[in-house]
Amino acid sequence: MFPRPLYQLPEGYQMGTESYLSGGSAALRRVPTPRARTRSALLPSMLMFGVILASSALLLMIERGILSEVKTPPPRGDPAWNPQGREYLGDGGDLELHIVREIRNRTLRSVCGQGEGARGVWDLPASQRRTLFKHVLVSDKYRFLYCFVPKVACSNWKRVLKVLGGSLQSVDTGGKMDHHSDLLFLADLSPDGIRHRLRHYFKFLFVRDPMERLLSAYRNKFGEVREYQRRYGLEIVRRYRGREARRSNGDDVTFTEFLRYLLDEEAEKMNDHWMPVYHLCQPCALNYDFIGSYERLREDANHVLHTVNAPPTVRFPERQAWYRPVTKETLEYFLCNTPRGLIRDLLPKYIMDYTLFGYPLPNITSQRCAH
């Protein structure tokens, strides 16, 4: 049996009878309503999500079978084609990765085509457009745009941009990372300059499992960064700890308290370390040429560097020695020790990240957490 859904049913939906193949929740279906459609219509129905995942799984099985017999080339937009001569490179690549990328592209087109949301960057409300432009880095020399997402290796990507721009000698240069100097942001440019680059430059971003990203931000900012402990930690314990808050310095925020804080915050006004990627990078308004994943960071980063014709001497940095990765076991421990109702209520704020980028909803059933 599939576990019960961990998200709250959106208004205008009710439970259906179908399920999707990823081991997730039963599908939803929209209930007809006489009310006018609003911007919330942009959120896809979970029935559509289920259909997309089911179709994607079927596509994966069919294409792998066909390709094993007749060597059908991958889609034209795929990295298996040489970006210079569009020459098919053959069977040497990771076939399953090619198919997964195509599935993600189809999911984006299907989900973003629903509803009445913004159809382009200039259709976004001014506040959302400002957030997007502040998170898109520009390389005029190599003609690319990178929407950086905090806690998805963005510091290392900034090092790469500085090396490509000549302001940093090596990606391995030590010292504290300056996240603003020697970097050009889309927000720094004129509207005409922005339009030109959006039209002609290669555009990419990197994504990560939403809950894993939140846990990474929580451990880093509240466990190591005094500025965040003072600015956010003290406020969080004041809200949710009552009189006990007077004994805190903001450095002992629990993961449950952090998630409660996120639940009470408006997504579009969150700190960018925990703002949903959907709001940071607007993938339904900006047509990205490539979306890499944290799970395949090195392979996807190498693909981007190859595509933009970066010098072979420029490589993606290794992880810092002090870095503590969030393992699957660590994430499961934190989630299983968090009230399930809290996670259920929080998931709608990140549901577009799960949907658009193909991440499974967290499984924290009693049976799962008993192990």
Q: What percent of the chain has pLDDT over 90?
A: 57
Amino acid 32: pLDDT = 52
If you average pLDDT over residues 180-189, what whole number do you get? 93
Mean pLDDT of the chain: 79
- pLDDT surpasses 80 at 281: yes
The model's pLDDT over 283-332, given as tens digits with 9 standing for 90+, comes to 999 999 999 999 999 999 999 999 999 999 999 988 766 677 899 999 99
Which range is least confidently modeled, 20-34, 168-182, 324-338, 351-365? 20-34
- pLDDT surpasses 60 at 102: yes
What's the chain's Rg over C-alpha atoms? Answer: 21
This prediction's pTM = 0.74
Q: Is residue 355 a contact partner of residue 49, using CB atoms and an 8 Å limit?
A: yes
Amino acid 269: pLDDT = 94
**Category of 327 on φ-ψ map: left (φ > 0), alpha (ψ -120 to 50) or beta:** beta
Amino acid 207: pLDDT = 97
Amino acid 118: pLDDT = 62
Amino acid 199: pLDDT = 97
Amino acid 85: pLDDT = 33
Amino acid 188: pLDDT = 97
Amino acid 366: pLDDT = 86
Amino acid 335: pLDDT = 96
Amino acid 72: pLDDT = 39
The model's pLDDT over 131-183, given as tens digits with 9 standing for 90+, comes to 999 999 999 999 999 999 999 999 999 999 999 999 888 888 766 667 788 89
The model's pLDDT over 57-72, given as tens digits with 9 standing for 90+, comes to 433 433 343 333 333 3
Amino acid 322: pLDDT = 64
